[in-house]
Structure 1
């Protein structure tokens, strides 16, 4: 074989002493190949360093073995971890991924990105942008390939072919709130994520329902974002109330970044955590256990979420478009991680 070109399927066939068709059967996992023949072909592939030509395979199979990922334009822990988990799950099943980020949190940006992914010939799309506008756009577009949305959407249309997977955001927020209630807190504030995000809305609902069941008044403060600087601004305002007769004794933050801002604002204001106020986050970001105090938070199992999203696509392909049904197909329970930022009220 000349060194000026990469090894071909014909080279593998010649090295293994089999036909071109037999090599193709081995590469495609065909059941009707003798074990000794399969081993000989695989050994030839390894010896030659052969790599299948994906473009040629796509022409034959009408499949590109590529999954498109539409994601929010953010480096925040939740969306970024979900994208990485989907990529790892796809790679383990022999699929590539093509990632495209939204230019904005609106339907026009989502339409542009979907068109880009479709033009690349992806076999399916996973949407990691749990935004109301994006989900409703997908409802209207009815893309020609299977779509899986990672979002805790409560109002999924009954007749949709789109599949949904999520971590149970409602349960996660409820776990955090009940933990504080069980410690003896009753004046608990929820620092909520931005409007238009399904996950943020479900966390609000989980908190308010847990408070209502305990007979405590709910109070939600809108952060209008997910960032630590928004948490810091809110923390500066709340610090003035803590220690007062009606001031909060505990806070459930919509994510760990907001908690980071709260902790800094409280420290600067002389408010002690957890002695003066308890704080619970959401996500369990890297390093949250090394904060002072170590942050009590809700862990999202992102590896399971990525596997569930890819499985939803694989099941759709296996069932075929006519037999495939949409709706919520996987809800993954979160885990409360109790650390040092929560304690009974003084």
Structure 2
């Protein structure tokens, strides 16, 4: 990505300058804050902000991050109070779990590790094959591979990454329950599932969490998923809580994406849609000035303010961004401020789908009846 790579750093520096000014809108949120708040995903307690490690083997810009620095970010996050780390066998594939396992080894028993199965990935080579695979025997073998790569004896939160349209969710729940009885899994969840599949899964084996995309940029879960999670007592974990960097100000009209960067083919960032959608970035920037915070902190704090059982997992490969994200834990909106901000966000109509059709087809899928 060109032209905007240093924009977030600039905005953070600007926020620091603003924090030193005698503004009346609130106290500054330090970028070196430590998380102290804990939240519940079902019965599972985690830090109020987690760390997504998806891009620690390859970034959106298709570069390969420096592995020692990724380990440093993981360990510094723990020192700053982060206890919730999110991975998946599909990330890499396999390589991200290896990075996370090495990074958290010194404090494994003090944190929560989440990982995901469900894509059709060769268990030995990690080769990505077409489609999905949630057959019970494959799930059991996939988890055994996860445990080796993560250097652990259990997965604290195991998600089905996408619903397999060939396998009843009750069969998936049965396989996970067997893994729980064996001590290899503690809690489970679903990602981007259909609503009826969510109900059936929870009836078969109570879920701790649902993971789906959710941010100011895409608010789809508000219509049905969040109300259902509230009804069933299931926590919610937003992936891409910063809108793949958009809400930080890292994307502007001059941005060009590298080949292989999924944002290059996301309709919401297409030239016809981007000028309209940048109104949301301007809104976030105004609130960052008002609250003496960074845009990323505004976006994350907004998510946390929507429900007490929402735990965003911003991903990053840069130490400064990780520290900035943690600072959102100290940011609070008054009831009046939140109502005003919600109204302003709702007034901006985002143009363009969140993902290409070929990717969206895997979301909202209902599992077959047993």
TM superposition score normalised by structure 2: 0.26
Flag the structure with more relative contact order, 1 or 2, with Cα contacts below 8 A and sequence separation at least 6.
2
Name the larger-Rg structure. 1
TM superposition score normalised by structure 1: 0.28
